[in-house]
Chains A and B, each alone.
Chain A
Amino acid sequence: MSSISTQIKHLLAIAICGTLFAASGGNAEDAGNLYNTRFDINAGLKYFERQCSRCHGFDAKGNDETGAPDLTGRLSRASSDVGIFNIIRTGVPGTAMLPVAADLPDSQVWQLVAYIGSLSTDPANIDLPGSVVAGARLFANKGDCNSCHMIDGQGGRLGPDLSRIGERRNPEELLTDILDPHQEVAPRWWTMRVTDSEGITREGLRMNEDSFSLRIMDAESNLWSYPKRQLASIERVEESTMPSYTQILSDSEVDDLVAYLFSLRKEN
């Protein structure tokens, strides 16, 4: 078990030196920014290119001449979305960093926040210990992850599609996903065990459940739809069907998988 804590310490160290997990990854803070979809990030980028890039650069990496800092790593004046919002809204008094136009709607400021937040988990800005190539190999071979997960159309249907997982989960979260899968299980991945009036039992992942009916996918990826009234019993297991890999993979193998998963994004 010591391996997990070393892993986590290890990753936290990375987080502190090179990234902004605390700023963008915290769920409580995330709830503060309602404008953080891909669309918003893109809108933020467009605005940034027009209004901010002349000082901070098109890549937001900063510019010595203007004194505008790099925004892709850890920020010195803000550690949360709200903090970034306030800097953009009010500027940094006494510096070239002026506030945005007073009539710019809050929603657009939030889009800028979302864009800046997205930079911090840009893989180019994070140095992970694992090897992407080795991780890809483990994913298909020793880890057998692809029996449940699809990446770019290859793999199983018994877990979430991971083709773009790097956009959704930071390295710390990915580590938890692999070592402690039960910690956070989306309802889509709960298991339903149902028995119909004739006594036939079927089990599957919970694709959808509503007041009167439910739909599951069984292990052979067959789809089933039931009206609840027809069922003699319904059992819901709010756990992950994914095994924990603490005993199965070494620390460095987990590092490799994390590096690989974190690299998975929409191409270009």
Chain B
Amino acid sequence: MNRSIALLAPLCLGLGLTLPVFAQEDEFQTVITPAFSPVTWERLINAEDEPENWMMYSGTLDSQRYSRLDQIDKSNVAELEMKWSYQIPVIDRAETVPTVVDGIMFITEAPSNLTAVDARTGRVYWRYDHELPDDLRICCGRNNRGVAILGETLFMSTLDAHLVAIDARTGNVLWDTEVADYEAGYSKTAAPLIVKDKVVTGIAGGEFGIRGFIDAYDPASGELEWRTYAIPGSGEPGNDSWSGDSWKTGGAATWLTGSYDPDLNLIYWGTGNPGPDWNGDVRLGDNLYSDSALALDGDTGEIAWHFQFTPHDVHDYDSIQVPILADIEYQGSTRKVMMWANRNAFFYTIDRVTGEFLEGDAYASQTWAQGLDPNGRPIRVPGMAPTYEGILVSPPIVGATNWYSPGYSQQTGLFYVTSFDGEQEFFKRDEDYEEGERFTGGGGRYNQPMDAFHSSIRAINPATAQIEWEFPIMPRSSAGITTTAGGIVFTGSADGYFFALDAATGEELWHISLGARVHAAPMTYAVDGKQFVTIASGNVVYTFGLKDN
């Protein structure tokens, strides 16, 4: 051991030195990371069939976050050990879900950087540091959730509201397109979604009176192909659901990643709160299409249908969740559905062909609605809108869930969500819109310590919208969920644990303390036939695997 170190030292000095390095018996197999082959659209459609790779934010286009890998299963998950960790150099919170293609992992980092590492060792190939202006308008921290890949190009959102294309082999910038003007309050944090030959992406800025949209870009040139506004313009149907000119600053940001159904050629995307968030007096009406699910034509971006979860929202109940698509047995037949646990505390099963509401019920504590009517529209409890003095409402502003990914298991047919039972005093303020300034019209405050509330992982049966089991954890978790063919639900907690539950029963199988809040979703992949599970906690990306032998 000492000898080989001594021999390696001269390497630093010499020019073209040849050195013998003693091969030793060790746990490494012959290690050659195969160069990755281009990620075609065909590969992305069939991503489920190559579970060794995790080729997009939600794993597959239907966003189930279900992996067919089963080497790690219920019987051996308790033997997981850490294989490597990667420290993100710029300190902030890591919300990244890494992407893995053929043994190479791409990790997005705060503020808007990107690193390629060997997925087996976590050691760096290259990094890309995105230059940012120093006067960013961002509501909620400097972070980035992941990339999309097509061919040999990675696509990443940046905090200054750009979309950049990066060469996956070198980290070179291929193009850098301004999606919107950051000085007007726009920013970007979400992983884009590849739809056929386009890069589809949303926008953040719902607390700055923006007008949300969903865009599609040409992957080769970075040119805008289509833009669909999440708020209809004047003269368009739905524009009259806003009083006066309020639609112009109505928010409806689109700050997360959507899903796609190749058979129906429909893109599904969530939209955020209407603005100003907590003062609805200045924007009377339903405020379409805020707090909605939009189904868009995969080629043109035209809206095929919409489903509004929270008409005229005054509590910031963003519908910024990842839509999960699955075909399920429902009342005696197979239905193509979209499942959605909303920030407003209701779970919905919706026919994704037509947008028809099938099932729904509250899955977390809530006091703002009596229930859902037969069309899925909430029946409001009167007098729950924010007041100047403040009024107690559940769920609180952060919601019964939020952006963190839910999961679905093809084995159990259950939908899993990180949920929060809390309440908050909501108050409103009168506020004028000023470009680039916050435009929220109020706020909220907790009237109890956080530990008085409850978080849990809940498993919901989409055919009935009823909870099958729940696993309580300390509040308020913002970790996403991944399920595997090993019968496992992987997720994390606010107090820094990464853990595994039995997908069928919710029984705890394994946990490890990572020491800092888990603000991201796990993902799983394999290299050289070995399965790994990766999760970001604090500022570190950890990778676990079974013991080699």
Contacts and interface: CB of A to CB of B under 8 A. Distances in A.
B35 A224 contact: yes
Interface in B97-127: 103-104, 118, 120-121, 123-126
A248 interface: no
Interface stretch (A96-104, A139-147, A210-218): A210-218
29 contacts: A150-B170, A152-B174, A157-B172, A163-B173, A196-B32, A211-B8, A213-B118, A217-B169, A221-B170, A223-B35, A223-B36, A223-B125, A224-B33, A226-B31, A227-B26, A227-B28, A227-B31, A228-B21, A229-B24, A230-B28, A230-B30, A231-B23, A232-B21, A232-B23, A233-B18, A234-B11, A234-B21, A236-B14, A238-B16
A238 B120 CA distance: 28
B126 to A, nearest CB: 6
B125 A207 contact: yes
A198 interface: yes
A103 B240 CA distance: 57
A233 B22 CA distance: 8
A94 interface: no
A233 B19 contact: yes
Given A222-B35, A224-B33, A232-B21, A208 B123 contact: yes
Given A224-B33, A238-B15, A208 B125 contact: yes
Nearest to A43: B134
B21 A236 contact: no
Given A153-B173, A223-B36, 14 more contacts: A150-B167, A157-B167, A163-B173, A196-B32, A208-B126, A210-B123, A213-B123, A221-B170, A224-B33, A228-B8, A232-B23, A234-B19, A235-B18, A237-B16
B170 A239 contact: no
Contacts of B20: 232-233
B173 A213 contact: no
Interface string A173-201: 00000000000000000000000111000
B165 interface: yes
Interface string B442-457: 0000000000000000
A221 B104 CA distance: 14
A225 interface: yes
- A-B pairs with lowest CB-CB distance, top 7: A222-B35, A153-B174, A225-B118, A161-B172, A225-B33, A197-B23, A235-B18
A197 B23 CA distance: 7
B281 interface: no
B16 A233 contact: no
Interface in B126-142: 126, 131, 133-134
Interface residues of A, number: 40
Given A153-B173, A228-B8, A223 B33 contact: yes
A216 to B, nearest CB: 10
Nearest to B102: A223
B172 A225 contact: no
A9 interface: no
Contacts of B18: 233-235
Contacts of A39: 131, 134
A150 B15 contact: no
Contacts of A239: 15-16
A234 B22 CA distance: 11
